[in-house]
A and B are shown apart, each in its own frame.
Chain A
Amino acid sequence: MSDGIVLRDVTLRRGLMAVVERQSVVVPKGGTLLVTGANGTGKSSLLYLAGGLIAPDSGEVRLGGMLVDPARPGALVVHGVRRGFVFQQGGLVANLSALQNVALPLRYHADRLGLGEAVIEERARFCLGAVGVEGRLVHSLPGRLSFGIAKRVAFARAMAIEPNFAFFDDPDAGLDHENAEVAYDILASFRDDASVTMIVATNHRALIERLGVPVRELVDGRLHRADMAKTPPRSLV
């Protein structure tokens, strides 16, 4: 049994369309997988499925050997599964400031993570600082932040819990060059961290080249190995 991410014979349907059709994927512990595919093929849904946010129609998903039940997200944390998730857009709690957003998972799981209030505040500020969100911005609500800064806050939140499973949905979409570089550095650090198992969904050639890890292309519900040297996916930009 792999300690990484295991999707066994999973099928996920949206109406009549099969987003994923009887697919099996294993990302070993510490490994990174890049998923690419044309717009609307279901990369985000696949990521939610792999991250245990939605249940498959059939098959099973395991994180760290633990069978995922999306109805009981807290159970994963009890068993040591800490997920960092960056959504394509949104995902931040609208009525909490940037700082409170980053601190939220730490506060909620403070007893399990063994964190005191002072450490939580310090770590949240450190993670925000690492993505360049400082000063008055840390007290701003997500609705008052620009898209790029909100995305950086999402990165900070994903980092704060020191995840052993990380999921990034189009992490550099909508970011300018400077912000995209910050995102690439964070992704590269997760890739190099042997304790982090990661899946990244993207169509950006620059990110794929920067990470240099195996790529699968999602086409008609099936994941195909993509040979970047010979036949790179046509969906790449």
Chain B
Amino acid sequence: MSPSSPFEPREVAPIQRGFVAGLGREGIETFREWASALRLFMLAMRAAFEPGKAARGTVHRVTLAQIVFTGAEGLPFVTATALVLGATLMLQMRVAAPGLPGEIVGKVLVTLLLRELAPLVTATIVASRSGTAIATEIGNMRASLEVLGLSSMGIDPARYVVLPRLIAVVVSVLVLMIYFGILALLGAAALAAIFGTPDLGSIRTGIADTVGLPDLPLFLVKGAGCGGLVAVICCHYGLQVKSSITEVPLMTGKAVIRAVIGCVLYSFVLTLAFYSVVGTPGFQM
């Protein structure tokens, strides 16, 4: 990556000879970064089981503060987005297919809103709000030697910095995702009620016919996975800051983009796996 200004201290990227060589280098670099993020996740998981009752108490307090910031303070954004998105989806269905039966509308709401948009949009909101905060905060902590300072006190940064944010983001995405799903359906129902069609009863029947028990694990695994991806990737890029605060915005931007891309890919793979394992519940093929 080239420096954005000639005055910044980063090294100039080596000249890439040819498209294929450049692609290969990018590929290797991306692989290394994902491997490094995975290692960070493993360190945080190991740290979760480290002994030390007092340390656990300190980490719990940090985790709670992070849950309040990511989960509770994120509620207004999720509320607004879910209601408007649900209503928009209903509006588009009415425009694209006027007279569409309520049962079909209900099925589309489940497949699009609950199975895809709820985890993805929630993760994107959390990534853009808390992910940026995490990457920026950790980046600044690196630049101001806070991370080294923690280590010098025998405090494992994987336990004190990464683990609380990982838990908080996973918990928050899971809870916010359920909240998002309910509000988005309400938003869609509200619009249908305003226009009078489709009939709310038939929409409810369509939803009930489509939602099955296999949706629960899909919902939870998607939410937990997307939350984990956002947390680990943002922590990872925050920790990539070496010594200069000019690196912080660069890493924050990278973190959010990579986190969102990671969530989209992860969600797609899970959806494929879901339909190949469970079949297509609620649909007559």
* Interface, chain A (partner B; CB < 8 A): 48, 51-53, 70-74, 76-78, 81-85, 87, 89-94, 104-105, 107-112, 157, 161, 167
Whether the Cβ atoms of A48 and B146 lie closer than 8 Å is no
Interface centre among A70, A73, A81, A94 (most CB of B within 10 A): A73
Asked if B152 and A51 make an inter-chain contact with CB atoms under 8 angstroms apart, the answer reads yes
Q: Are B146 and A104 neighbours in the complex by a CB distance under 8 Å?
A: no
**Complex CA–CA separation, A81 to B152 (angstroms):** 11
Contact in complex: A108, B43 (CB < 8 Å): no
Residues from chain A with a CB closer than 8 A to the CB of B51 are 78
Query: Given A72-B156, A76-B154, A94-B140, are A109 and B149 also a contact pair (CB < 8 Å)?
Result: no
- The distance from the CB of A127 to the nearest CB of chain B, in whole angstroms, is 13
Across the interface, B58 reaches (CB within 8 A) one of A76, A90, A108, namely A108
Instruction: Looking at the assembled complex, report how far the CB atom of B259 sits from the nearest CB atom of chain A, in whole angstroms.
Output: 23
Q: Which residues of A contact B43 (CB under 8 A)?
A: 71
Contact partners of A71 in chain B: CB under 8 A:
43, 158
Q: How large is the interface on B (under 10, 10 to 19, 20 to 34, 35 or more residues)?
A: 20 to 34
Cross-interface CB contact of B145 among A73, A83, A87, cutoff 8 Å: A87
Q: How far is the CA of A72 from the CA of B43 in the complex (A)?
A: 9
Complexed CA–CA distance, A89 and B149 (Å): 11
Q: Report the Cα distance A104→B154, complex, angstroms.
A: 11
Contacts of A92 in B (CB 8 A): 146, 149
Bound Cα distance from A117 to B148, whole angstroms: 25
Provide the residues of chain A in CB contact with B54, threshold 8 Å.
107-112
Residues of chain B within 8 A (CB-CB) of A77 are 154
A74 near B152: Cβ-Cβ < 8 Å: no
A87 to B151, CA, bound (A): 12
| Contact of A109 with B154 in the complex, beta carbons under 8 Å | yes
Q: Is there an interface contact between B149 and A87, defined as CB atoms closer than 8 Å?
A: yes
If A74-B156, A91-B146, A107-B58 touch, whether A53 touches B140 (CB-CB below 8 Å) is no
The 4 closest A-B pairs by CB, nearest first: A85-B152, A91-B149, A77-B154, A110-B54
A235 to B226, CA, bound (A): 53
Interface centre among B51, B57, B144, B157 (most CB of A within 10 A): B144
A108, B55: Cβ atoms closer than 8 Å: yes
Contacts of A81 in B (CB 8 A): 154
Residue of B nearest to A83 (CB): B152
Interface residue from B52, B146, B156 paired with A73 (Cβ < 8 Å): B156
Instruction: Kindly state the separation between the CA atoms of A102 and B155 in the bound complex, as whole angstroms.
Output: 13
A51-B152, A53-B152 as given contacts; A74 in contact with B146, CB under 8 Å: no
| Chain B residues near A90 (CB-CB < 8 A) | 144-146, 149
